[in-house]
Amino acid sequence: MRKIPFYKPPITIHDYLEVFRTIASGWLTTGKRNFEFSRKLAEYLGIEEKSVVLVSSCTAGLHLLFDAFDLKGKEIIIPAITFISPVEMALLVGAKPIIVDVDYDCITISPEEVEKKMNNKVGAVIPTYYGGNSYDRKVLEIASSKGIVIIEDAAHAFGTKVNGVKVGNVEKLGVDATVFSFYATKTLHTGEGGAIITNNERVLDKIKKTRLHGMDHNAWSRYQNNLVGYDITEVGFKYNFPDILASVGIAQLRVFEKMQRERKRVWDLYFRYLSDLDTIRLPKIRENTETSYHLFTIRLNTEMWSIDKLTFIKLLNDRGIGTSVHFTPVYRFTKYREVLKPDLSEFKNSEKIFSEIVSLPIYPSLSNREVEYICGVIRDLSKKYKK
């Protein structure tokens, strides 16, 4: 039987060479390769290098930003369908997460729901790029008109463009900060890691210290400048980004555009082979958006199936096809049912979406034949279990 995993990270000879170069240098933690990767990221995004701060994860980036923007005691508006990170980090800084429903078609934060939750306690809104798709920009108008901080969760969006502008260009896109993830499954990966992008000088000054214990000089700075000791000027965290991961990022950036073309190839094949099925819905991308092709999430038209989503997933897995679900609504987890005490009547879209969504494999090395096989299985299941 075929075995098609949900994801395979693209590893090239460049990864081996860059990692070897870092190991051979004798400096594995945050150092000169960190600065090199930051510079290359800035060049790709078309922004100043000083606006880029590498961190250990997107989650860490959110934590640092919530802290630096002084959101303790404030409310932070977060979409119901997202990874749990912004909810966790809001609670850790002493803020109150306010969960709102999502747009049904694009699975991104609903501007209407954001508007409903606006009050003088709201400190920030965290719109998410679901699967690489942009959110409704009305959210920016609502938040900006009230002076509320906008922090984009762009974990899925490295490579996404909105109105021709690359996500991460915070000035052109009119946001306060953007956070990327470089986790192993992301479009640009370093295994683990992330990056904060912001032009706010006060915030930059703080997070460059708080990401490493609040030190005024890290180990590389002390080594380069022959400094003895350091001062602690902030209460900080251990969220720095080591050179050995930066070297993977440098290698991945070199082949990024090529890998994106391969993702688009897979995306286009899914549309070619599945677009005529009335039992499923394919991803809808906003007209102003060029997606990163991070996720290919189909939606079951559940009223047309004699089986539910979990059975559908099991049948795919039985035929060797790996899948995932992005995401379980945050209020459904045991801990957050206790903390958030959700009123499910406020999440009609999220509840319906959760009953429908299945993410299919999409990665550069997925072959045409494998995509054809996946689509063939879905067509067989549709024929067999259609009401």
SS3 content of the chain, % helix, strand, coil (to 5): 45, 15, 40
CA–CA distance, 267 with 14 (Å, rounded to integer): 25
pTM of the model: 0.96
The domain spans of the chain are 13-254, 256-385
What does the DSSP 8-state code read for residue 387? -
Burial of 165 (C-beta count, 10 Å sphere; 0-12/13-18/19+): middle
**How far, in Å, are 153, 273, 294 from residue 326 at the CA level?**
15, 22, 11
CATH architecture classification, 13-254 = 3-Layer(aba) Sandwich (3.40)
Q: Does domain 256-385 have CATH number 3.40.50.720?
A: no
Q: Do residues 128 and 109 lie in contact, with contact meaning Cβ atoms separated by under 8 Å?
A: yes
Burial of 119 (C-beta count, 10 Å sphere; 0-12/13-18/19+): exposed
CA–CA distance, 140 with 158 (Å, rounded to integer): 20
Domain 13-254 identical in fold to domain 256-385: no
Query: How many residues make up the chain in this entry?
Result: 387
Per-residue pLDDT of the chain (387 residues; tens, 9 = 90+): 789 999 999 999 999 999 999 999 998 998 999 999 999 999 999 999 999 999 999 999 999 999 999 999 999 999 999 999 999 999 999 999 999 999 999 999 999 999 999 999 999 999 999 999 999 999 999 999 999 999 999 999 999 999 999 999 999 999 999 999 999 999 999 999 999 999 999 999 999 999 999 987 765 565 576 666 788 999 999 999 999 999 999 999 999 999 999 999 999 999 999 999 999 999 999 999 999 999 999 999 999 999 999 999 999 999 999 999 999 999 999 999 999 999 999 999 999 999 999 999 999 999 999 999 999 999 999 999 999
Q: What is the pLDDT of residues 268-295, one digit of tens each?
A: 999 999 999 999 999 999 999 999 999 9
Closest by CA position to 133, among listed 14, 286, 249:
286
